[in-house]
Amino acid sequence: MDNNDFPILHQKVNDEDLVYLDNAATTQKPKAVIEAMEKFYYEDNANVHRGVHTLAERSTEMFEAAREKIRAFINAKSSKEIIYTKGTTDSLNMIAQSYGENVHEGDEIVISILEHHSNLIPWQQLAIKKNAKLKYINLTDDGELDMKQAEELITDKTKIVSVAHVSNVLGVISPVKKLAELAHKHGAVMVVDGAQSTPHMPIDVQDLDCDFFAFSGHKMLAETGIGVLYGKEELLNEMTPVEYGGEMIEFVKKYETTWNELPWKFEAGTPNIAGAISLGYAIDYLNGVGMQKIADYEQQIVSYVLPKLLAIDDLEVYGPTDPKKHTAVISFNLKGLHPHDLATGLDMEGVAVRAGHHCAQPLMTYLGLSATARASFYFYNSLEDADKLVDAIIATKEFFKDGTI
Amino acid sequence: MALSRMDNLYRQVILDHSDNPHHHGELSDKTNDIELKNPTCGDVLKLDLKVEDGKIEDAAFSGYGCTISQASASMMTDAVIGKTTEQAENMVQTFSSMIIGDDVDTDVLEDAATLEGVSKFPARIKCATLAWKALHKALNK
């Protein structure tokens, strides 16, 4: 696919053409989004929902239009179900704090061992606070969620099931629709961490039948500091706000307050207006490309690069070896070399990857690793980028071999 | 190719230290010890010291980390054994200055001075300083 809309990708780092493969961390922004943000600040900026003046009306309209675009993008029933947050982490914390009030002593929360810390610590701390039990779904040998175990773990004691739609380390897709069915059968709610899925595939929250769904704008072409919490309207209506302040009120008296209606009940204070609008433009851009086309194209990249990586001697690749079970997030290590050394080598060749524990320390411990290198593609990457990754890994391997032996 | 730039980072002496680290292990008669973690990468460094009469009689390190952090720990232990704690603290200062690119006399650091090239790789500075931070903390514990 074309990457001419992404100016940042056309530069040299360390004398080599940049190959940006850190998209699971954050994505680059197309000109359309950058220019729309510039235009917003040049022409339209004002606080939302407050003023009667023209600019305030204009920015409010843009802010709410973006919410409607987001609703359509994930096929929520109503834009009341779309709450602006700072990002996935913020969204998940909000659910744990607010819906978490329904969890009591002896109740159980089920998550999986491959969770990002942002979908782990909120539940772990909630369990500690409420004297509830936190249970983990483990993985099969191929790195997929062990659904047999999930069926045993999710019981009538379960109040919340929360799982990543796509692992930010292994790239494996979780059967969240199936998990939602299981959760509902036992009267629990299903929370989906969609940070790594929403940018890469069509999302239909009604089809998944999840109760909550969280994702971030910056991983899908928008600015940082904007994210979304989707929740079913009837659940959000029953929940209490997490933050108090401006915007989220209906009427404030000296000793009591009534809340604004959804979604504003959960949006205290001046929101990230430009961020929300940027997410609207990012969605326009993604719709222009087509989400199914993006998913298909990334599948093509995985099918191309995964066998090549698996064929490199001394390269350990984690997660499913079947490309069909993989999104374009691939973690690996060169035997005998720390991933930071590998990542520095790749950087010298112009290839940007992440190295570390990827905010998933329990998964690292479970896999017996302390860190991995991770390449993550987006639709603006090419098969040539995949070749450059493979070549750079081999060159780095040779460098350390020659240097040490 | 650009990979050749790494020669400044991974000099032979650094790779030697990483492959065959000196003073790797634990001390049964340690007087001071510390375990430091690098939260960004998950690396762990454990440092044992035997300090007597204000002098570092012995040192050993263990844990898990990258080439730079392992080599740095190896070279640091080499350099500080036999030094007074005051000398060692001065070396911590010298190393900290060197690694951010300040022009300092690095002779006192012995092999550790070869990590000077790390200053050109900002993302790796923490890897190199972990051992020296551990030394500073262990001495002040």
Among candidate residues A95, A103, A222, A359, the one labeled active-site is: A359
pLDDT of residue A402: 61
**B5, B19, B64 ranked by CB distance to A370: nearest:** B64
**Catalytic residue status for A210:** no
Containing structural domain, residue B56: 2-139
Residues A243-274: tens digit of each pLDDT = 999 889 889 999 999 999 999 999 999 999 99
Residue A220 and residue A332 share a domain: no
Last-in-domain residue among A262, A288, A314: A288
Residues A122-166: tens digit of each pLDDT = 999 999 999 999 999 999 998 999 999 999 999 999 999 999 999
CA distances to A115, A173, A186, A200, A312 from A165, rounded to whole Å, are: 10, 6, 20, 11, 29
Residues of chain B with pLDDT under 70: 1
Give the distance, in angstroms, between the CA of residue A388 and the centroid of all CA atoms in the same chain. 26
Structural contact between residues A320 and A172, judged by C-beta atoms closer than 8 angstroms: yes
A10 domain residue, yes or no? no
Instruction: Concatenate the DSSP letters of all residues of A253-276 into one string.
Output: -SS-EEEPPTTGGG--SS--HHHH
CATH number for the domain including A330? 3.90.1150.10
Residues of chain A with pLDDT under 50: 404-405
Residue A225 and residue A178 share a domain: yes
**B3, B19, B66 ranked by CB distance to A341: nearest:** B66
Containing structural domain, residue A375: 291-404
pLDDT of residue B3: 83
Number of domains forming the structure of chain B: 1
- Beta-strand pair A212-216/A351-352: unpaired
pLDDT of residue A94: 98
Residue A274 and residue A301 share a domain: no
Dihedral Cα A20, A21, A23, A27, nearest 10 deg: 10
Residue A226 and residue A168 share a domain: yes
CATH number for the domain including B73? 3.90.1010.10
- Give the percent of chain A with pLDDT over 90: 94
Burial class (CB in 10 A: 0-12, 13-18, 19+), B20: exposed
Which of chain A's residues have a Cβ under 8 Å away from the Cβ of B42?
356-357, 361, 364, 370-371
Shortest Cα distance, chain A CAs vs residue B82, angstroms: 29
The residue type found at B22 is H
Q: How many CB pairs under 8 A join A and B?
A: 67
pLDDT of residue B1: 53
List the one residue out of A268, A194, A184 whose CA is nearest residue A227. A194
Residue A133 and residue A264 share a domain: yes
Q: Which of B9, B15, B41, B46 to mutate to test the interface with A (most CBs of A within 10 A)?
A: B41
Residue A73 and residue A176 share a domain: yes
Residue A273 and residue A392 share a domain: no
Last-in-domain residue among A263, A288, A313: A288
Which of chain A's residues have a Cβ under 8 Å away from the Cβ of B66?
338-341
CATH number for the domain including A253? 3.40.640.10
Tokens of A29: 């922004």
Residues B6-22: tens digit of each pLDDT = 887 888 888 899 989 99
Residue A301 and residue A160 share a domain: no
Residue A251 and residue A366 share a domain: no
Number of domains forming the structure of chain A: 2
Give the span between the Cα atoms of A330 and A325, in whole angstroms: 12
**B15, B42, B121 ranked by CB distance to A344: nearest:** B121
Burial class (CB in 10 A: 0-12, 13-18, 19+), B43: buried
ipTM of the complex, rounded to two decimals: 0.82
A75 domain residue, yes or no? yes
Residue A287: CB atoms within 10 A of its CB come to 12
Which of chain B's residues have a Cβ under 8 Å away from the Cβ of A347?
123
Residue A351 and residue A247 share a domain: no
